[in-house]
Amino acid sequence: MKKIKNNFTEKLIINKYFKTLSLNKKGTFNFENDAAYLNIPHKNYKFAVTTDTILENIDFFKNDNPKSIAQKITTVNLSDLYAMGAMPHSYLLNLCLPSYITNDWLKSFCNYLKKLQLKYNFYLLGGDLSKSDNLIISSTFFGYINKNINVYQNKVNLDDDIWVSGNIGESKIGLEIIRKNITIDKNLREYFINKYLYPKPCKLGPNLALYSSSIVDVSDGFIGDLKKMLNDKYGALISLNKIPLSIKAKKLIFDLKKIKLEHVLNSGDDYSLIIVSNKKYRKKIKNIANKNKVKISRVGKVVLEKGVQFDSYINNNIIKEYDHFS
């Protein structure tokens, strides 16, 4: 992207690009107030809240398409809400903009955000703008959930089933291709890079909340996120041959040996859901997933022995769990 010095003002950016994202909702006051108000959709609902920040050179690259960056800040928040069993309602958006940001960049970013808002049914409440040397985007999302439902991250029971939605590891492969650590043919390259640049949230959470002991999204890696659910009381026994890998990922891991399975199992940004549920709900969970046309795999169960165990050999020594400060 061409580096130029912009002449934006806060008022210009809000009026030209962000007002349309309010979707003319009454509580936004057309972004003319310093605060907004929220209406709970129904008296039987309560609010769920989540917040995330993404940073240039940490979560995305400077030259990434603004559509991809809009997708990432949306997905990371929606995924947290869905894992709580909540439906999205609205959000706050804070941007620290460097000098290289252009009118075209803002237009593309905001147009794609609006597309995502209409797809997932939420709107912009307000936010804040500032200058920065690097692009920093932070958002707080509000969702709503039936007040009688409580989905905890670490409330699991012995012998519960462990399920995973979608596929594991494709975003990690895309990132390694971008970093030039993996070289493959053009078609595979584009497939995996697209998985990294445009991650999508799994919407099953609200439908599965009544039948789940615990749900978490795979944002920090399958093994690391599963450990969070086990709360130092239990462990997990996982069948390696049931881990959901796409045919393309299997080709890279097992045939071409471009990346180790161990790395794929602890890579983040897949935004699949790990669902822990009583075995009596197996049929119900499969039916819900099939009805929503979402791939779901039963990969293991909760056991007494602590830690994540596998029924086949895997080199745990090379696995480094994701940490936001490492």
Task: Find, among 238, 216, 219, the residue nearest to 228 by Cα.
Answer: 216
Class of domain 161-318: alpha beta
DSSP 86: P
Give me the percent of the chain exceeding a pLDDT of 70.
93
CB neighbourhood size of 17 (10 A): 19
**Residue 137 and residue 109 in contact, taking contact as beta carbons nearer than 8 Å:** no
CA distances from 73 to 67, 68, 149 (A): 10, 9, 26
Give 222's Cβ-side CA count (13 Å radius).
Answer: 30
pLDDT digits (tens, 9 = 90+) for 117-163: 999 999 999 999 999 999 999 999 999 998 888 877 778 999 999 99
Task: Find, among 83, 87, 202, the residue nearest to 146 by Cα.
Answer: 87
| Three-state DSSP state, 249 | helix
Q: Which residues pair with 309 in a beta bridge?
A: 237
Domain residue ranges of the chain, discontinuous segments joined by +: 11-146, 161-318
Q: How far is CA 200 from the centre of its chain?
A: 7
Could you tell me the fold of the domain covering 11-146? 60s Ribosomal Protein L30; Chain: A; (3.30.1330)
Confidence of residue 8 (pLDDT cuts 50, 70, 90): confident
pLDDT recorded at residue 315: 54
Task: Find, among 224, 196, 178, 216, the residue nearest to 320 by Cα.
Answer: 224
pLDDT recorded at residue 180: 95
pLDDT recorded at residue 3: 38
| Three-state DSSP state, 304 | coil
| E strand residue ranges, the chain | 45-55, 87-97, 123-131, 136-146, 161-165, 214-217, 235-238, 273-277, 296-303, 307-310
pLDDT recorded at residue 171: 96
pLDDT digits (tens, 9 = 90+) for 31-71: 888 888 888 777 899 999 999 999 999 999 999 999 999 99
* Strands 235-238, 136-146: pairing kind: unpaired
Q: Burial letters for 169-208: b for 16+ Cβ neighbours within 10 Å, e otherwise?
A: bbbbbbbbbbeeebebeeebbebbbebbbbbbbbbbbbbb
pLDDT digits (tens, 9 = 90+) for 273-296: 999 999 999 999 999 999 999 999
Confidence of residue 27 (pLDDT cuts 50, 70, 90): confident
pLDDT recorded at residue 318: 43
Q: Where are the alpha helices (DSSP H) in the chain?
A: 10-13, 66-83, 103-120, 170-178, 186-197, 205-208, 222-229, 247-250, 261-265, 282-291
Q: Which residues pair with 273 in a beta bridge?
A: 217
Q: How far apart are CA 126 and CA 92, in angstroms?
A: 5
pLDDT recorded at residue 4: 38
What are the backbone dihedrals phi and psi of residue 134, each rounded to the nearest 5 degrees, phi first? Answer: -125, 160
